């Protein structure tokens, strides 16, 4: 069960003891929780800390990539940074430290699966980073974030996850079939501030991939990545090859 009493356990998990525990409590407080206690000025949501943490992460990641890859040009550095700080990546880092278990969220959000929703986990992770920065400074953020980011970076590079999947898929399909893949949104779940979209990509009437993301663009990117993986493993579907 997630409540304010869980805070010390979360501190144990992340290996940080806060000088100002209220900062961590705020970082773990989703807006839906505050909405249920409207008028109580002692309860503050994590949106301002999320704003700060997002900026801190961008700087940390940019600095790390700049120093680590002195021969890589600006374009690829931008792609690597985007892959590291995208919603799905930060949500995974949040999952790794069991962040969802400790969130303070509203009853409706709880019932709709909010604790495991990528957008909520991403934003809460950014808020935790913002809280650590305010409480203990950039060195503590580096110690907390850099090791899992480097593991994530290794996976991104090994699997070329930073390369624009939509462009790669379009080039491959156009070269073979001279047509453009079609993307369509097939579903959306969650409240307006934390929706997750499902997008499918098809060639004509043939579905070749689907993906989920915190925005339509992110979901389309995941759909393209799934399609590329399928094409690399199985090639073009036989139904399409018969029409060539």
User: In angstroms, rounded to a whole number, what is the distance separating the alpha carbons of residues 210 and 29?
Assistant: 32
> Under a CB-based contact definition with an 8 Å cutoff, are residues 153 and 208 in contact?
no
User: What is the residue-wise DSSP string for 34-68?
Assistant: HHTTTT-TT---SHHHHHHHHHHHHHHHHHHHHHH
User: In angstroms, rounded to a whole number, what is the distance separating the alpha carbons of residues 55 and 52?
Assistant: 5
Backbone angles phi, psi at 185, to 5 degrees: -80, 125
Catalytic residue among 45, 88, 126, 196: 126
Q: Is 11 known to be catalytic? A: no
Q: Is 126 known to be catalytic? A: yes
The answer to whether the Cα torsion of 187, 194, 225, 100 is positive or negative is: negative
Catalytic residue among 45, 50, 54, 196: 54
User: What is the residue-wise DSSP string for 12-38?
Assistant: HHHT---SSHHHHHHHTB-HHHHHTTT
- CB atoms near residue 177 (< 10 Å): 16
User: In angstroms, rounded to a whole number, what is the distance separating the alpha carbons of residues 15 and 9?
Assistant: 10
User: In angstroms, rounded to a whole number, what is the distance separating the alpha carbons of residues 194 and 125?
Assistant: 14
- CB atoms near residue 19 (< 10 Å): 9
> Would you please indicate which residues are annotated as catalytic (active-site) residues?
54, 126
């Amino acid at each position: 069960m997630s409540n304010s009493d869980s805070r010390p356990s979360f501190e144990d998990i992340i290996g940080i003891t806060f000088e100002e525990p209220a900062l961590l409590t705020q970082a773990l407080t989703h807006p839906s929780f505050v909405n249920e206690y409207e008028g109580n000025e002692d309860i503050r949501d994590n949106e301002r800390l999320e704003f700060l943490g997002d900026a801190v992460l961008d700087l940390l990641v940019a600095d790390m990539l700049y120093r680590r890859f002195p021969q890589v040009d600006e374009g690829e550095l931008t792609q690597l940074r985007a892959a590291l700080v995208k919603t799905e990546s930060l949500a995974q880092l949040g999952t790794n430290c069991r962040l969802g278990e400790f969130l303070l969220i509203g009853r409706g959000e709880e019932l709709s699966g909010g604790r495991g929703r990528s957008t909520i986990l991403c934003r809460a992770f950014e808020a935790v980073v913002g809280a650590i920065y305010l409480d203990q400074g950039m060195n503590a953020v580096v110690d907390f974030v850099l090791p899992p980011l480097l593991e994530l970076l290794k996976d991104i590079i090994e699997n070329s996850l930073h390369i624009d999947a939509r462009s790669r898929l379009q080039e491959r399909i156009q070269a073979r079939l001279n047509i453009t893949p079609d993307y369509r949104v097939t579903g959306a779940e969650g409240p307006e501030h934390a929706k997750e979209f499902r997008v499918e990509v098809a060639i004509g009437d043939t579905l070749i991939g689907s993906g989920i993301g915190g925005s339509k663009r992110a979901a389309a990117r995941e759909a393209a990545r799934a399609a590329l993986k399928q094409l690399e493993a199985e090639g073009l579907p036989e139904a399409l090859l018969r029409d060539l």
